[in-house]
Amino acid sequence: MDNYRKLAIRYLNMNKRRSAIAIFGVIVTTVILFTFLNVMCGLLENERKREREEEDYEMVFFLQSEEQGEQILSDRRVKSAYIGPYYEWSYNTQNEELVHANTLYVNVTQPYRINAIFNDICQNYGVEGEINEYLANLYFQGTDEEGMVAAALFVLLVAYIFAIFGVGIVRNAIQLCALENIRDYGNLRCIGASKGQLKSIIYFQGAILELIGIGIGVVLGTIVSYIVGAVFHMEIGFHLIGVILILIVFMGDLYFTMGENSKLITGMSPLSAIRGEYRIKKEKIKLREHNLFGKIFGVDGDYAYKSLMRNRKRFFRTVAAMVFGIAMFIGIAGAVHSINEIIKEKLAEYRYYQIYFEHRLGPGKSIEEVQATLPSAKQLERLTQLEEVTEAKRIYSCDIWLADTEDYYQHYTEEFLTTTYGGDAMARIHEAYQSASEIEGKARRLDALAAIECYGYDETDYARYESALVEGTLDISDHGIVIVNQGKMEKAEELTETLGIEYVQVAITDYHVGDTIQIVNMERFGDMVQTEWERLDKEAEEREEQLRKELAGNEQEFNQQVEELEKEIYLEKKIARYNCWQELISQGDYETYTIEGIVNADVNRSGSYFRIILPLEQYFAMTGTDETMNTGMQFHFDKIPMDKNLSVICNEILWGDMDINSEIEYNGLDYSEYVWMIDELMNMKKVIFFVLLIVIFVVLMASLNFINATASNLHLRRREFAQLRVIGTSKERLVKMVLLEGVITTVIANILGILLGTGLCIYVFYFVNLINKLEFHFPWLASLGCIIGSFLLLCGAIYVPMRKLSQSMVEDLTTGGD
């Protein structure tokens, strides 16, 4: 040893584990911070590069003469330049307008001084110009520099917060070490060490821990940055500025906190070292009355309470920190729980076949037309091959038309018509239909009143309804049907209390087993409508052709006329369908079906409407279709699909070959939004995971700090403990007495923390409820976790150093001077 400062290394070596933990803390903070800074710098760099590819100039000057250009070019601050015309986007003409023909485009040598250089050149050479604002902003310059400066300040703030953590843990470790060896510092003073020399030993210890931690942290952070870059397909690289920033904030903070530490030991006079007085601050010890804890725990409780009250500030600080931590934890747990519940609820709504692509048949739609809009066989194949897809089935579905709409309408329940969004709409449509005097008015609205969804299922799918059967049987006769009569439906708007969509569970109709409904001959109805519609389509084509001739050259007029024509034909079609329907009824060409089973939920498919479900054979018979006429595909997942390909395929199916610029035309394809729901869920999980990481980080750092602080506090009291031992307190009893202090603190902190946390939960819950109705759950598990965690932390933080202390206590007493 050739320098007294090496004592620092000896002290760090003496408690390797503590030093390692401190270094670990610095590493963790550095890794996170450096990765953050490095990624930020990488993003900034990439953005600069991207911007320079598009517009590689920092400023332009509108030259008045050639000499002016040459003068500017010879300025040593100009790195590169070229001459060309300068255009600017004009809002008035919606076009690029020439601003100045002879413009000098310039890049300077110091982009971080764009503003100053620009102003200087303007003044020196008497020229006007403009700064490339966006590029300048990327160098924290330009007229709008405040925004970027604010962002930079935010980054600095984040860095500083991390520094507080990283340095805090080092400070505590060194403080503890200094307190444990405080007598050494007094002895050093005796043999002639000055206060400055003692300080330098402390600073040296801090610097060693910090630098090792930062060194390793930067290496790991670089690796993590590369991983992050690889995951998000970005080039991040290595940015020295991050290291410099970390060194500045960490070392800067270290300088101040180590100053505090130094005060601790320099306050130790050589005399007190000789006399064996280790207490640094003389405290006033007040006589206190007997207290509650004394009554409960006897003399031990009395001692514990008095010890706590002796340093009230520290006690309240500890309690406040714990209360805050517990409340935050419970609050977050409550929020996570609410989110989880919502997700569960939402996902359950998608029923057995979570994903489907379907285009229901109906009068006027040919099967070819329908199947043409379905996803291609290839796309369906790819979906089927996803690992999580355990079942894929064809859908058979069709709109069937009632013969007596009025009879059906009368069966709607009051509840459905008045409390749900759909029922409310239905009531309005019904009224408009009734009061319509012309055929147009009726024809427009007929499909809403007469069409009912009908689904055919194979044996296994059909049998699944057994669980939802509330009346009758699934085992139906030739002219029997099963209806889905209940649904979780959107609440009517005027009844909604939250900002989001609310649902009510209602019975849609008051049908019972034995009731009948009449359904028109669907096969004939379909044929009739199709003939009529084909005729109308042909007519439309002819008229469009004629219009084209008449209005040749006047495109605007032509487009307008065609639009009119389309509207007319659309109405004509509806009228034709109305007429066909009337004809079938007047001919008595409809059949009566008896309701033989009622289920209260559609277990196979999402969506809640009045539906008819049938075994396949009967479905074919009723709708006049056959096996080849499937109207879509449906897929079952037995667990939540995590495969990214799922949403890729689904997106491709729905808008794959769609041109963004073309108007989106609805082709009748129905699909579930399960995939997007899952996407959102994944995003939410990412956010929760991130929040969790932060919480873990904060809890970890706070705990380490707390453990260290407790240990130093106990060290300060070691003479007192030694005295207690001397007057006959057993080791165990002493540990118990001090543990009781921890117990009292934890109990108080938990009571307050859980109360506050529950309040926070209710507060969060209130807001969640504005968007989505939920039942409130008290976060039992989180509370239990908090209680256990805080007890372990507090008592552990006391127990471990106490056990070590009580071993060296007698020595503490006997070495005290004369």
Partner 1 sequence: MDIVTMEHVTKVYGENDTRVWGLHDVSLTIQQGEIVSVVGASGSGKSTLLHVMGGVDAPTSGKIVVDGKDITKLNDEQMAVFRRRKIGFVFQAYHLIPVLSVEENITMPILLDHRKPDKEYVEHIMEMLGLQDRRKHLPNQLSGGQQQRTAIARALANRPSLILADEPTGALDSKNGSEVIALLQNSVKQLNQTLVLITHNIDLAREADRIIKIADGEIVEA
Radius of gyration of the CA atoms of the chain, in A: 40
Residue 792 CA, distance from chain mean position? 31
Q: Do 534 and 515 form a contact (C-beta atoms < 8 A)? A: no
Question: Residues 402 to 431: which contact Mg ion by CB under 5 A?
Answer: none
For residue 719, the minimal CB distance to partner 1 (Å) is 14
d(CA 464, CA 615): 12
Structure-token pair, residue 76: 């040593």
d(CA 89, CA 86): 10
CB atoms within 10 A of CB 637: 22
Residue 193 interacts with, from Mg ion, partner 1, none (CB under 5-8 Å by kind): partner 1
Residue 624 interacts with, from Mg ion, partner 1, none (CB under 5-8 Å by kind): none
Question: Residues 125 to 184: which contact Mg ion by CB under 5 A?
Answer: none
Outline where DSSP puts E strands in 402-527. 451-457, 469-472, 480-484, 486-490, 503-507, 516-520
Determine the angle formed by the axes of helices 555-586 and 522-550, rounding to 10 degrees.
160
Q: What are phi and psi of 360, to 5 degrees?
A: -65, 140
Residue 125 interacts with, from Mg ion, partner 1, none (CB under 5-8 Å by kind): none
For residue 41, the minimal CB distance to partner 1 (Å) is 42
For residue 818, the minimal CB distance to Mg ion (Å) is 4
For residue 755, the minimal CB distance to partner 1 (Å) is 48
For residue 164, the minimal CB distance to partner 1 (Å) is 30
For residue 812, the minimal CB distance to Mg ion (Å) is 19
Residue 293 interacts with, from Mg ion, partner 1, none (CB under 5-8 Å by kind): none
Residue 590 interacts with, from partner 1, Mg ion, none (CB under 5-8 Å by kind): none
Residue 586 interacts with, from Mg ion, partner 1, none (CB under 5-8 Å by kind): none
x/- letters, 711..730, toward Mg ion (CB under 5 A): --------------------
Nearer to partner 1, 164 or 274 (CB): 274
Contacts of residue 435, defined as CB under 8 A and 6 or more positions apart, other chains included, come to: 441
Spatial CA neighbour of 61 closest among 50, 72, 52, 51: 72
d(CA 763, CA 338): 12
Contacts of residue 234, defined as CB under 8 A and 6 or more positions apart, other chains included, come to: 42, 43, 46, 228
| Amino acid of residue 730 | S
Nearer to partner 1, 205 or 745 (CB): 205
Nearer to Mg ion, 274 or 752 (CB): 274
d(CA 601, CA 469): 8
Residue 276 makes contact with Mg ion by CB under 5 A: no
| Amino acid of residue 589 | D
- Indicate the Cα dihedral angle 790, 794, 800, 806, nearest 10°: -150
Structure-token pair, residue 194: 């000055």
Task: List residues binding partner 1 (CB under 8 A).
Answer: 1-4, 7, 10-11, 13-14, 181, 183-184, 187-197, 269-271, 273-274, 276, 815-818
Nearer to Mg ion, 500 or 817 (CB): 817
Residue 10 interacts with, from Mg ion, partner 1, none (CB under 5-8 Å by kind): partner 1
For residue 698, the minimal CB distance to partner 1 (Å) is 34
State the sign of the Cα–Cα–Cα–Cα dihedral 214, 219, 222, 223: negative
Nearer to Mg ion, 15 or 187 (CB): 187
Nearer to Mg ion, 46 or 269 (CB): 269
For residue 8, the minimal CB distance to partner 1 (Å) is 10
For residue 203, the minimal CB distance to partner 1 (Å) is 16
Q: Which helix (H) or strand (E) holds 60?
A: strand 59-62
For residue 722, the minimal CB distance to partner 1 (Å) is 15
Nearer to partner 1, 198 or 489 (CB): 198
Q: Do 745 and 318 form a contact (C-beta atoms < 8 A)? A: yes
d(CA 487, CA 420): 10
Nearer to Mg ion, 274 or 565 (CB): 274
d(CA 18, CA 167): 14
Question: Residues 779 to 818: which contact Mg ion by CB under 5 A?
Answer: 818
For residue 12, the minimal CB distance to partner 1 (Å) is 10
Q: Do 434 and 591 form a contact (C-beta atoms < 8 A)? A: no
Q: Which residues pair with 457 in a beta bridge?
A: 615
Nearer to Mg ion, 271 or 810 (CB): 271
641 to 146, 249, 676, 679: CA distances (angstroms): 45, 44, 11, 10
Nearer to Mg ion, 478 or 818 (CB): 818
d(CA 21, CA 703): 12
For residue 262, the minimal CB distance to partner 1 (Å) is 14
For residue 14, the minimal CB distance to partner 1 (Å) is 5
d(CA 616, CA 396): 8
Q: What is the 3-state secondary structure (H, E, C) of 285-352?
A: CCCCCCCHHHHHHHHHHHHHHHHHHHCHHHHHHHHHHHHHHHHHHHHHHHHHHHHHHHHHHHHHCCCC
Nearer to partner 1, 204 or 412 (CB): 204
Residue 485 interacts with, from partner 1, Mg ion, none (CB under 5-8 Å by kind): none
Structure-token pair, residue 52: 């320079």
Nearer to partner 1, 269 or 561 (CB): 269
For residue 307, the minimal CB distance to Mg ion (Å) is 32
Q: Which residue is nearest to Mg ion (CB)?
A: 818
Nearer to partner 1, 447 or 812 (CB): 812
Structure-token pair, residue 573: 């079609």
Nearer to partner 1, 628 or 815 (CB): 815
Give the footprint of Mg ion on this chain (CB under 5 A). Answer: 818
